[in-house]
Structure 1
């Protein structure tokens, strides 16, 4: 086990290093940089930066070197000092910008994940056990609609009905009068009143996809010889489903942790922008638009770290849940 964890730690470190290089190069591909974008912004306002101002800004932000020098400076600061750099746009350390949004991001992500699992598992199991029933057809139809409908369109539909029915636009995770208040029962209830909209919007596609996966996996297990043999021995249907096929059907829940977590952490970038969520998604979009490469690169690196850690957790949980996988990864 310890040898396995050691190998995985080395693979994870190498993967993150490769991702950091690719991310930095891709973010730097658009022509110009933050100073160029700043010059254009000043030009729109009728102002102009002198060549001396431009040179001073490039030196201040570390943009006067070539791409390799900028990357080596950034990754060295991260590895040796844990310093993610300075955000050009926000004029503060990147770690502060990320930490200011991390709490809300984790709250929305965890709530969405739990609700997604709680809804998808019983619907998928029912759809498989009651194959070709009205409920199965209804779940399948709704699942296809959920997969086909973009999340931002669902968010716009919510806004439309909210404006027409309640006369207000759903925005953020709290009402203005509660945003700066200390935590109490009233603020918690206000948060819950705002949280259900992003949970539904972001989790719709996830529920639809998991329902399809669980239904198909459970149908495969129900046709296995061991299920037929157990039924022939007179094992009650409910006990049979709980002990064997349903347990195997849990594998998709566990195996998707690695890629579901980063998707939920960043939310849906467009959905976060539409609903005004104080999460990392809108911050990442703004950083990419403003060529704030240290902020954008650091957010993507955080998501990459969550991905590789989530993949490791998925593998360990799968090994614990399924003995067939356990024998494979302990070799």
Structure 2
């Protein structure tokens, strides 16, 4: 097991290094750069920027240097100093911009995840155990509806309901009077009163999908020979269900749980844009539109790092949960 973990850590380092190169190359593939975008926006407004000032801007942002030099300066600053560079458009440190949104993104994503688990697992287990019953058909019907309805449409509907019938401000996570206020009990309560809409919007499709996955996986386990053997030995049905087939059917859940880490920062971009949520997704989108290379590159590197680390953690969690996989790791 230790040998397996050591090899995986080496793979993590090599993978992140390769991702950093590919990321930096891709964000520099579109023609032009941030200064070109700045000049184009100025010209569209009828303003001409002198060539000398354009050259000074490129020198100021380091865009007049070769791509290899720009990459080396960027990656070494991240690795050795934790400095993700300076955002061109916001004229702030990238770490400051991202750090301001991590907490709210984490609260939103974790709350949505807990809602998905609390609803999907019991319903999925019930649908599998009561296959082809009215309850199974009802859960399947609403599951397909949840997967089919676009999230942005559901967001608009719930925003209207919240404004029309509950008197809440439309969009955002805070009322106008708490938007720039310091944290206190009133601001926390105001956040909680606004949080339910994005939680429901983000969680609906995830809940529907998790119900279908849980049901399908459990159905695969319910008719295996070990279940019939345990039932023949007189094991109570509820104990048999929870101890064996339910446990084995949750293996796919553990194998994908690591993918949830990037969601703590990225969130649902489309929903966040529609609802004006101060999460990481809209910031990344604006950075791409502005060709803000250090902001976009740092965002992608953070998300990639969380994905790689999350995958490693999910593999270890799967080995802990499923003894069959743990024995295979020991042989390696």
TM over 0.5: yes
Q: Indicate the larger mover: 161-170 or 5-14.
A: 161-170
> Could you report, residue by residue, the CA deviation over 1:252-280 in whole angstroms, capped at 9, with x for unpaired residues?
33222222332353111111111111110
- The corresponding residue for 2:151 is 151
Taking structure 2 as the reference length, the TM-score comes to 0.95
> What's 2:320 paired with?
320
The equivalent of 2:229 in structure 1 is 229
User: Which residue number corresponds to residue 219 of structure 2?
Assistant: 219
Partner deviation per Cα, 1:82-119 (whole Å, 9 max, x = no partner): 21111001101111111111111111111111111111
CA separation in 1, counterparts of 2:175 and 2:328?
A: 51
Cα deviation 1:221-273 (Å, max 9, x = unaligned): 10110101111122111111111111122223322222233235311111111
Report which stretch shifted further, 261-270 or 59-68: 261-270
- The runs of 5 or more residues in structure 2 that have no matched partner are none
Contact 1:112 1:264 in 2 (8 A): no
- 81-90 vs 183-192, which moves further: 183-192
Superposed CA RMSD in Å reads 1.6
CA distance in 1, matches of 2:92, 2:186: 32
Deviation at 1:165, TM superposition (A): 3.5
Q: How does 1:266-281 map to 2 (within 5 A)?
A: 266-281=266-281
Aligned to 2:110: 110
Q: 2: distance between equivalents of 1:209 and 1:113?
A: 13
Structure 2 distance, partners of 1:169, 1:26, is: 39
Partner Cα separation in structure 1 for residue 80 and residue 188 of structure 2: 40
Consecutive unaligned residues in structure 1, runs of 5 or more: none
- TM alignment of 1:30-41, pairs within 5 A: 30-41=30-41
Query: Alpha-carbon deviations, 1:180-218, whole Å to 9, x = none?
Result: 334343322211111111111112221111111111110
SS across alignment from 1:87: coil
> What is the TM-score normalised by the length of structure 1?
0.95
Give the equivalent residue in structure 2 for 1:125.
125
Which runs of at least 4 in structure 1 moved beyond 4 Å after TM superposition?
166-169
Looking at structure 1, the residues matched to 263 and 102 of structure 2 have their Cα atoms a distance apart, in angstroms, of 14
- 1:24 Cα offset (Å): 1.8
Paired residue secondary structure (2:189): helix
Partners of 2:88 and 2:292 within 8 A in 1: yes
SS class of match (2:69): helix
SS in 1 for 2:324: helix
